[in-house]
């Protein structure tokens, strides 16, 4: 069969228009000469929730089912030539389902090609643009507590953990809790942060989340120590370095320690505890 021209547009979920970060969640394809129009949409929020923790996965899945259902109806209309007129482009077709506005679902610029089997092409493009990283990007290799274990071994050897306790900082608009805090003039708070994630978006999102939290609380009597676990994937190291820089912006009184620095942190805190106890003994 002779190949015919088609056009397509990728559907993006833009969680925050300020940062502009997005995840591809669907793809619409239109081949007018073959009377074909259809779309494939992600039916799971599995990849999105690690990147956007505030996402309501139930609402997202329901929305995707609604979009998919509407495109299936369009498929029948175009296939049976029931539409009042042909659509001028895939963008006109796509925007008849999801209009171009400031919502979280946005259509990407049009792509095009030639196909003799538009249904197979739709599946191929969907796998390429939407599902390609599905398995790799949803794996959270180590969580914060697993990173903490690497630091806690060194801190236990220096016998300083017994001085730490939970502490919550509350302001008019927000609050933040640390499981491990010690008062020595100011509160010294330990915050394990795992960047052993599987996508650049999730690493940046986590760093920005901390930046937002600390900006909101902004307590002058808080000294923060970020205890950071780096990503396993070598190709994520550049974005990891950017994330460290973001953490350093959270407060004027913040220090960042990687797992390689765990022994150095333990010795630093041990010296501070010893000095504090010596001062208390002579008071």
Digit-coded pLDDT (tens) for 191-207: 999 999 878 888 998 99
33 and 109 co-located in one domain: yes
Same domain, 108 and 222: no
Contact yes or no for 20/108 (Cβ under 8 A): no
Q: Torsion angle, CA of 77/81/86/92, rounded to 10 degrees?
A: 10
Mean pLDDT of all residues in the chain? Answer: 88
The pLDDT score that the predictor gives to residue 158 is 93
Judge whether residue 98 has pLDDT over 50: yes
Greatest Cα-to-Cα distance within the chain, rounded to the nearest angstrom: 93
**Is pLDDT above 90 for 229?**
yes
**Cα–Cα distance measured from residue 43 to residue 152, given in angstroms and rounded to the nearest whole number:** 40
pLDDT, one tens digit per residue, over 47-60 is 788 778 888 888 99
Q: Model confidence at 276, in pLDDT bands (50, 70, 90)?
A: confident
Same domain as 157, residue 38: no
Q: Please report where in the chains the tokens 């039916």 appear, as a residue.
A: 43
Mean pLDDT, residues 65-74: 93
Say if CB 43 and CB 61 are below 8 A apart.
yes
Percent of the chain with pLDDT strictly greater than 70: 94
State percent of the chain over pLDDT 90. 58
Residues 169 and 273 in one domain: yes
For the chain, what is the domain count? 2
Residue 31 pLDDT more than 70?
A: yes
Residue 168: count of CB within 10 angstroms of its CB: 10
Q: HEC string of 89-114?
A: CHHHHHHCCCCCCCCCEEECCCEEEE
Final residue in a domain of this structure, among 107, 137, 167: 137
Per-residue pLDDT, 139: 46
pLDDT of 54 reads 82
Query: Is there a single domain that holds both residue 61 and residue 32?
Result: yes
Looking at the fold, whether 29 and 97 belong to one and the same domain comes out as yes
User: 């805190």: which residue's tokens?
Assistant: 269
Least confident span in 102-106, 122-126, 256-260: 102-106
Q: What is the DSSP string of the chain?
A: ---EEEEEEEEEEES-TTT--EEEEEEEEEEGGGTEEEEEE----TTHHHH-TT--HHHHHHHHHHHHHHHHHHHHHHHTT-SSS--SSHHHHHHTTS-SSSSSEEEPPPEEEEES-HHHHHHHHHIIIIITTHHHHT---S-HHHHHHHHHHHHHHTT-GGG-EEEEEE-SS-EEEEEEEEEESEEEEEEEEE---SSHHHHHHHHHHHHHHHHHH--TTEEEEEEEE--SSGGGHHHHHHHHHHHHTS-SSEEEEEGGGHHHHHHHHHHHHHHHHHHHHT-
Q: Give per-residue pLDDT as tens, 175-188.
A: 889 999 999 889 99
User: How much is the pLDDT for 84?
Assistant: 62
Shared domain for 9 and 70, answered yes or no, is yes
Where in the sequence is the domain holding 226, given as residue range(s)?
Answer: 144-281
Are 127 and 207 in a shared domain? no
pTM for this entry: 0.52
pLDDT (mean) for 199-222: 85
The answer on pLDDT for 270 being more than 80 is yes
State how far the Cα of 253 lies from the Cα of 182, in Å rounded to an integer: 15
Which residue is listed with tokens 């990007």?
A: 137
pLDDT at 137: 44
Residues 91 and 173 in one domain: no
Residue found by looking up tokens 């175009």 in the block: 78
Q: Which of 137, 168, 185 is the last residue of a domain?
A: 137
Is the domain of 217 the same as that of 234? yes
Domain end among 137, 165, 185? 137
pLDDT tens figures, 123-178: 999 999 998 766 544 444 688 999 999 899 999 999 999 999 999 988 777 788 99
Q: Is the pLDDT of residue 2 over 90?
A: no
250 or 64, which is more confident? 64
Say yes or no: 149 and 129 in one domain. no
Same-domain pairing of 131 and 10: yes
């Amino acid at each position: 069969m002779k190949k015919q021209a088609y056009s397509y547009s990728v559907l993006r979920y833009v969680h925050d228009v300020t940062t502009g970060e997005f995840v591809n969640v669907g793809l619409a394809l239109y081949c007018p000469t073959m009377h074909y129009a259809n779309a494939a949409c992600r039916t799971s929020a599995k990849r999105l929730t690690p990147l956007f923790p505030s996402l309501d996965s139930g609402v997202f899945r329901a929305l995707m089912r609604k979009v998919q259902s509407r495109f299936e109806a369009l498929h029948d209309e175009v296939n049976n030539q029931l539409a009042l007129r042909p659509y001028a482009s895939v963008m006109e077709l796509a925007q008849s389902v999801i209009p171009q506005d400031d919502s979280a679902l946005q259509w990407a610029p049009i792509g095009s090609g030639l196909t003799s089997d538009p249904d197979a092409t739709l599946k191929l493009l969907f796998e390429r643009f939407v599902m390609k990283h599905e398995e790799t990007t949803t794996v959270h290799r180590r969580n914060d507590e697993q990173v903490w274990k690497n630091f806690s071994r060194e801190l236990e050897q220096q016998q300083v953990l017994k001085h730490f306790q939970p502490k919550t900082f509350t302001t008019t608009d927000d609050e933040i809790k640390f499981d491990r805090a010690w008062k020595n003039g100011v509160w010294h708070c330990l915050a394990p942060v795992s960047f052993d994630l599987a996508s650049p978006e999730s690493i940046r999102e986590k760093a920005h989340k901390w930046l937002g939290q600390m900006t909101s609380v902004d307590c002058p009597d808080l000294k923060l120590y970020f205890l950071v676990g780096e990503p396993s994937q070598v190709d994520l190291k550049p974005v990891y370095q950017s994330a460290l820089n973001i953490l350093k912006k959270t407060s004027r009184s913040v220090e960042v320690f990687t797992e390689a620095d765990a022994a150095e942190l333990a010795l630093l805190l041990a010296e501070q505890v010893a000095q504090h106890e010596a001062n208390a003994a002579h008071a």
